[in-house]
A and B are shown apart, each in its own frame.
Chain A
Amino acid sequence: MRATGSGRSGGVARFLLRRFAQALFVIFGVACVTFFVLRLVPGDPARLMVPPGSSEAVVEAIRVKLGTNLPLLEQFWAYLVGLVQGDLGTSFRYERPVLDLVLSVFPATLALGGVAMLFSLLVAVPLGIAAAAKPGGVTDRIVLVLAIVGQSLPNFWIGVMLVLFFSIRLGWLPAIGNETAVSYILPVLTLSAVLIATLIRTVRQSMLEALSEDYVRTARAKGVPWSRIFFVHALKNAAIPLVTVVGLQIGFVLGGAFVVELIFNWPGVGLLALQAISTRDFPVVQGVVMLVAILFVVANLLVDIAYAYLNPRVRLGAEQ
Chain B
Amino acid sequence: MIMRRLLRPGVVVGLVLIALLLACTLFADWIAPHSPTRMAPALKYLPPIWLEGSDPRYLLGTDQLGRDVLSRLIHGARTSLFIAVSAVMIATAFGVTVGLLAGYFRGWVDVVIMRIADIQLAFPFILLALAILSVTEVKSALTIIIVLAFADWVIHARIVRGRVLVEREKEYVRGARALGASNLRIMFLYVLPAILPTVIVIAMIELAVLMLVESILSFIGLGIDPPAISWGTALADGRRSLGNAWWMMVFPGVAIFLAVLAINLVADGLADVLDPRLKLSGIYRRADRSKALASPRTMEQKESPLLVVNNLSVMFPLDDGGSVSAVKAVSFAVKAGERLGIVGESGSGKSVTAMTVMGLLDSAGYISSGSIRLKGRELVGSSERELNRVRGRGMAMIFQDASTALNPVFRVGWQIEEAILLHQKVSRSQARKNALDLLRMVNIAEPERVAQSYPFEISGGMQQRAMIAIALSCGPDLLIADEPTTAVDVTTQAQILRELDALIARLGTGVILISHDLGVIAEFTDRVLVMKDGEVVESGPTAEIVAAPRHPYTQQLLAAVRSLEGGEPTGEKAVVHAAG
B residues less than 8 Å from A32 (CB atoms): 119
Q: Which of B237-296 contact A (CB under 8 A)?
A: 238-239, 242-243, 246, 249-250, 253, 256-257, 260-261, 264-265, 268, 280-286
Closest partner residue, chain B, to A313 (CB atom): B456
Establish whether residues B390 and A223, one from each chain, have CB atoms under 8 Å apart when the complex forms.
yes
B residues less than 8 Å from A164 (CB atoms): 242, 246, 249-250
A residues less than 8 Å from B125 (CB atoms): 251-252, 255
Say how far A276's CB is from chain B's closest CB, in angstroms: 8
Does residue A172 face the partner (Cβ distance < 8 Å to B)?
Answer: no
Closest partner residue, chain A, to B125 (CB atom): A255
Does residue B75 face the partner (Cβ distance < 8 Å to A)?
Answer: no
Closest partner residue, chain A, to B420 (CB atom): A222
Establish whether residues A310 and B409, one from each chain, have CB atoms under 8 Å apart when the complex forms.
yes
Does residue B135 face the partner (Cβ distance < 8 Å to A)?
Answer: yes
Give the docked Cα–Cα distance between A32 and B131 (Å): 13
Establish whether residues B122 and A222, one from each chain, have CB atoms under 8 Å apart when the complex forms.
no
Closest partner residue, chain A, to B261 (CB atom): A152
A residues less than 8 Å from B136 (CB atoms): 41-43
Does residue B219 face the partner (Cβ distance < 8 Å to A)?
Answer: yes
Does residue A122 face the partner (Cβ distance < 8 Å to B)?
Answer: no
Does residue B548 face the partner (Cβ distance < 8 Å to A)?
Answer: no
Cβ proximity bits B462-474 to A, threshold 8 Å, 1 near / 0 not? 0000010011000
Does residue B522 face the partner (Cβ distance < 8 Å to A)?
Answer: no
Does residue A168 face the partner (Cβ distance < 8 Å to B)?
Answer: yes
Establish whether residues B358 and A148, one from each chain, have CB atoms under 8 Å apart when the complex forms.
no
Establish whether residues B457 and A3, one from each chain, have CB atoms under 8 Å apart when the complex forms.
yes
Give the docked Cα–Cα distance between A224 and B387 (Å): 10
Does residue A289 face the partner (Cβ distance < 8 Å to B)?
Answer: yes
Q: When A43-B136, A223-B390, A277-B130 are in contact, do A135 and B284 touch as well, CB less than 8 Å?
A: yes
Does residue B454 face the partner (Cβ distance < 8 Å to A)?
Answer: yes
User: Which of A22, A148, A312, A318 is B265 in contact with, Cβ under 8 Å?
Assistant: A148
Cβ proximity bits B105-124 to A, threshold 8 Å, 1 near / 0 not? 00000000001101111111
Does residue A45 face the partner (Cβ distance < 8 Å to B)?
Answer: yes
Q: When A224-B422, A225-B385, A296-B124 are in contact, do A312 and B456 touch as well, CB less than 8 Å?
A: yes
Does residue A254 face the partner (Cβ distance < 8 Å to B)?
Answer: yes
Say how far B382's CB is from chain A's closest CB, in angstroms: 12
Does residue B393 face the partner (Cβ distance < 8 Å to A)?
Answer: yes
Does residue B160 face the partner (Cβ distance < 8 Å to A)?
Answer: no
User: Which of B123, B220, B256, B453 is A262 in contact with, Cβ under 8 Å?
Assistant: B220
Main secondary structure of the interface of A (DSSP, over half): helix
Q: Which of A104-131 contact B (CB under 8 A)?
A: none
A residues less than 8 Å from B135 (CB atoms): 38, 41, 43, 45, 48, 282, 285
Establish whether residues A160 and B249, one from each chain, have CB atoms under 8 Å apart when the complex forms.
yes
User: Which of A215, A222, A273 is B419 in contact with, Cβ under 8 Å?
Assistant: A222
Establish whether residues A316 and B457, one from each chain, have CB atoms under 8 Å apart when the complex forms.
yes
Give the docked Cα–Cα distance between A283 and B20 (Å): 45
Cβ proximity bits B365-399 to A, threshold 8 Å, 1 near / 0 not? 00000000000000000001101111111001101
A residues less than 8 Å from B390 (CB atoms): 223
A residues less than 8 Å from B445 (CB atoms): none
Give the docked Cα–Cα distance between A255 and B555 (Å): 69
The stretch of B34-42, B400-408, B507-515, B571-579 that contacts the partner chain? B400-408
Main secondary structure of the interface of B (DSSP, over half): helix
Say how far A172's CB is from chain B's closest CB, in angstroms: 17
A residues less than 8 Å from B212 (CB atoms): 152, 154
Does residue A144 face the partner (Cβ distance < 8 Å to B)?
Answer: yes
Give the docked Cα–Cα distance between A292 and B256 (Å): 28
Q: Which of A30-69 contact B (CB under 8 A)?
A: 30, 32-34, 37-38, 41-43, 45, 47-48
A residues less than 8 Å from B423 (CB atoms): 223
Does residue B49 face the partner (Cβ distance < 8 Å to A)?
Answer: no
Cβ proximity bits A219-231 to B, threshold 8 Å, 1 near / 0 not? 1111111100000
Interface-central residue, B243, B257, B389, B393, by most chain A CB under 10 Å:
B257
Give the docked Cα–Cα distance between A221 and B471 (Å): 8
Closest partner residue, chain A, to B209 (CB atom): A151
Establish whether residues B283 and A223, one from each chain, have CB atoms under 8 Å apart when the complex forms.
no
Closest partner residue, chain A, to B214 (CB atom): A154
Q: When A41-B136, A160-B242, A285-B134 are in contact, do A33 and B119 touch as well, CB less than 8 Å?
A: yes
B residues less than 8 Å from A151 (CB atoms): 208, 260, 264, 280
Say how far A225's CB is from chain B's closest CB, in angstroms: 6
Give the docked Cα–Cα distance between A262 and B239 (Å): 11
Establish whether residues B257 and A208, one from each chain, have CB atoms under 8 Å apart when the complex forms.
no
Give the docked Cα–Cα distance between A136 and B285 (Å): 8
Q: When A221-B396, A222-B419 are in contact, do A30 and B261 touch as well, CB less than 8 Å?
A: no
Closest partner residue, chain B, to A240 (CB atom): B409
B residues less than 8 Å from A258 (CB atoms): 126-127, 130, 220
Establish whether residues A223 and B392, one from each chain, have CB atoms under 8 Å apart when the complex forms.
yes
User: Which of B134, B256, B419, B452 is A277 in contact with, Cβ under 8 Å?
Assistant: B134
Say how far A105's CB is from chain B's closest CB, in angstroms: 16
Q: How large is the interface on A (under 10, 10 to 19, 20 to 34, 35 or more residues)?
A: 35 or more
Give the docked Cα–Cα distance between A225 and B29 (Å): 64
Closest partner residue, chain B, to A157 (CB atom): B253
Does residue B494 face the partner (Cβ distance < 8 Å to A)?
Answer: no
Q: Which of B116-152 contact A (CB under 8 A)?
A: 116, 118-128, 130-132, 134-137
Say how far A188's CB is from chain B's closest CB, in angstroms: 18
Q: When A168-B242, A285-B134, A311-B409 are in contact, do A26 and B127 touch as well, CB less than 8 Å?
A: no
Establish whether residues A254 and B124, one from each chain, have CB atoms under 8 Å apart when the complex forms.
yes
Does residue B162 face the partner (Cβ distance < 8 Å to A)?
Answer: no
Does residue B449 face the partner (Cβ distance < 8 Å to A)?
Answer: yes
A residues less than 8 Å from B283 (CB atoms): 135-136, 140
Establish whether residues A3 and B406, one from each chain, have CB atoms under 8 Å apart when the complex forms.
no
Establish whether residues A213 and B404, one from each chain, have CB atoms under 8 Å apart when the complex forms.
yes
Does residue B418 face the partner (Cβ distance < 8 Å to A)?
Answer: yes
User: Which of B216, B399, B454 is A156 in contact with, Cβ under 8 Å?
Assistant: B216
B residues less than 8 Å from A201 (CB atoms): 280-281
User: Which of B216, B391, B419 is A154 in contact with, Cβ under 8 Å?
Assistant: B216
Establish whether residues A278 and B282, one from each chain, have CB atoms under 8 Å apart when the complex forms.
no
Q: Which of B432-484 contact A (CB under 8 A)?
A: 449, 452-454, 456-457, 467, 470-471
Establish whether residues B407 and A293, one from each chain, have CB atoms under 8 Å apart when the complex forms.
no
Establish whether residues A149 and B261, one from each chain, have CB atoms under 8 Å apart when the complex forms.
yes
Establish whether residues A215 and B360, one from each chain, have CB atoms under 8 Å apart when the complex forms.
no
Does residue B235 face the partner (Cβ distance < 8 Å to A)?
Answer: yes
Does residue B215 face the partner (Cβ distance < 8 Å to A)?
Answer: yes
Which 6 residue pairs are nearest across A and B when measured between Cβ atoms? A29-B119, A223-B392, A255-B124, A255-B126, A157-B253, A152-B261
B contacts, CB < 8 Å to A: 115-116, 118-128, 130-132, 134-137, 208, 212, 215-216, 219-222, 235, 238-239, 242-243, 246, 249-250, 253, 256-257, 260-261, 264-265, 268, 280-286, 358-360, 384-385, 387-393, 396-397, 399, 401, 404-410, 418-419, 422-423, 449, 452-454, 456-457, 467, 470-471
Q: A163-B242, A222-B396, A254-B127 are in contact. List 17 more A-B contacts (CB 8 A).
A: A37-B131, A48-B137, A154-B256, A168-B243, A208-B284, A211-B284, A215-B404, A219-B418, A221-B399, A222-B392, A224-B388, A225-B385, A236-B410, A237-B409, A296-B124, A313-B408, A316-B454
- A–B pairs, 28, beta carbons within 8 Å: A3-B457, A33-B119, A33-B123, A41-B132, A41-B136, A42-B136, A140-B283, A144-B280, A144-B281, A148-B265, A168-B243, A213-B404, A215-B405, A215-B408, A217-B399, A221-B360, A221-B471, A222-B392, A222-B418, A223-B393, A224-B418, A237-B407, A251-B123, A274-B221, A289-B131, A296-B123, A296-B124, A313-B456
